[in-house]
Amino acid sequence: MNGNRRVVVTGVGLVSPLGIGTEETWRGLLAGRSGAAPITLFDASRHATRFACEVKGFDPLDWIEKKQVKKMDRFIQFALAASEMALEDAALPVPIADAERMGVIIGSGIGGFATIAREHEALLRGGPRRISPFFIPAVIINLAAGWVSIRTGAKGPNSATCTACTSGAHAIGDSYRLIQHGDTDAMITGGAEAAVTALGVGGFCSMRALSTRNDEPERASRPFDRDRDGFVIGEGAGILVLEELEHARRRGARILCEIVGYGMSGDAYHISAPSEDGDGAIRVMRAALTDAGVEPSAIDYINVHGTSTPRGDAGETIAMKAVFGEHAHEMSVSSTKSMIGHLLGASGGVEAGLTALAIRDQAVPPTINLENPDPECDLDYVPNHSRKLDVRYALSNSFGFGGTNGALLFKRLED
């Protein structure tokens, strides 16, 4: 194939701190609700940060047989639940009919953190014989895709991305390319993460990357605000069903939007900090625009990376100004991390799904807690309240530790 096949989004499945379900999450975002609260998954009393954006009320038995639950970490459970939602949203029955023409790519930045910690304790307590035989397949990152493939019967390309906080975006972009080039007709793709653990939160606290606004967690994630002091860690999964356009049309699928551009870049700068001049972010957005053959002035909305870190938000603003010029002040841009926190490797999958929903409903979610705008951050961040918007083209940005970047460009289907 020559790579000219068109790719559309036909399903979205979300497990998030605002709800176990796509529409519940979307309603919460449009209402400007925060998912941040004191940590309940472990005793955080000795941690500098004692709150997070946890997925609340998730029971894996609602999605997975009891005998299988113990074989998988929480991030895999999230991926399975979100995949089932996405397939239901796409009206694709399981098992998959044309199994060899549907694949799975699901990313995660960290994988089975909670299970690693638990099994390490078992080793220290009772020696190697106490380690579960399910330990390794429960924690390795590609088993999210593996389990989804097993449960759906999808026999096409099966892979995983592990590119820190860009994992979900890269999974979707790689899936888009596979369909474009004819390797498959449909993909189940996105990201999943469950790193709200004593070790995960403790590690980010040691880096001084997290907000320490323990007295008011719902106001802690405040991208582009002058008083931001770090990100709020979250967990969850975002899974999309992508299909070749004619494949979707033949089966009468409802199409949410088209994916028309994918960009990748590397900062070559620092293990965790973005370059101050926004170089990697500039090049990744330009790459997505070039891939789509779209002028910067065509973009209506960007779901920004917007983590609520001092350097990250300022650098992304600089990058948007460099790419879009005067049009940067005319676009609507917002950070949904202000409400759901930073889902690490799942963030790109969740945020891509939210961007698709923004096109579907012609509405964009707000950046909440934007009370005292940083003078360096002077774009239209949709402060505090969602808005109706004519969205034809929308971009979703993801940037990760190690300087790995991804951008996905979506378009309203018009023909």
pLDDT in tens, 186-230: 999 999 999 999 999 999 999 999 999 999 999 999 999 999 999
CB 406 within 8 A of CB 348: yes
pLDDT digits (tens, 9 = 90+) for 292-316: 999 999 999 999 999 999 999 999 9
pLDDT for 167 beyond 50 = yes
Is there a catalytic annotation at residue 342? yes
Per the listing, tokens 């001092």 go with 310
pTM of this structure: 0.97
Comparing CA positions, the residue from 400, 377, 395, 404 lying closest to residue 317 is 377
Is there a catalytic annotation at residue 165? yes
DSSP 306: -
Structure tokens at 360: 């579907």
pLDDT digits (tens, 9 = 90+) for 200-209: 999 999 999 9
pLDDT for 1 beyond 50 = no
Phi/psi region, residue 370 (left: phi>0; alpha: psi -120 to 50; beta: rest), is beta
- The active-site residue, picked from 162, 247, 305, 377, is 305
pLDDT of res. 236: 98
What percent of the chain lies above the pLDDT cut of 70? 99
Structure tokens at 142: 């590609």
- The active-site residue, picked from 53, 165, 205, 377, is 165
pLDDT of res. 276: 84
* CA-to-CA separations, 220 to 8, 181, 311, 339, in angstroms, rounded: 36, 43, 16, 10
pLDDT of res. 255: 98
What percent of the chain lies above the pLDDT cut of 90? 97
Distance in angstroms between the alpha carbons of the first and the last residue of the chain: 23
pLDDT for 3 beyond 90 = no
Rounded to the nearest integer, the mean pLDDT of the chain is: 97
Contacts of 282 (CB under 8 A, 6+ apart): 319, 322, 323
What is the Cα 404 distance to its own chain's centre?
A: 14
pLDDT for 160 beyond 90 = yes
Burial 341-366 (b: 16+ CB within 10 A, else e): bbbbbbbbbbbbbbbbbbbbeebbbb
Average confidence (pLDDT) over 332-361: 98
What is the Cα 385 distance to its own chain's centre?
A: 22
Would you kindly state where each structural domain of the chain is located, as residue ranges?
7-415
Comparing CA positions, the residue from 109, 107, 121 lying closest to residue 42 is 121
Sign of CA dihedral 368, 14, 407, 9: negative
53 versus 3: which is more confidently predicted? 53
pLDDT digits (tens, 9 = 90+) for 96-114: 889 999 999 999 999 999 9
pLDDT digits (tens, 9 = 90+) for 4-32: 899 999 999 999 999 999 999 999 999 99
pLDDT digits (tens, 9 = 90+) for 35-74: 999 999 999 999 999 999 999 999 999 999 999 999 999 9
Per the listing, tokens 């996105």 go with 190
What is the fold, at CATH topology level, of the domain defined by 7-415? Peroxisomal Thiolase; Chain A, domain 1 (3.40.47)
Distance CA(147)–CA(154), nearest Å, equals 10
- The active-site residue, picked from 47, 170, 247, 342, is 342
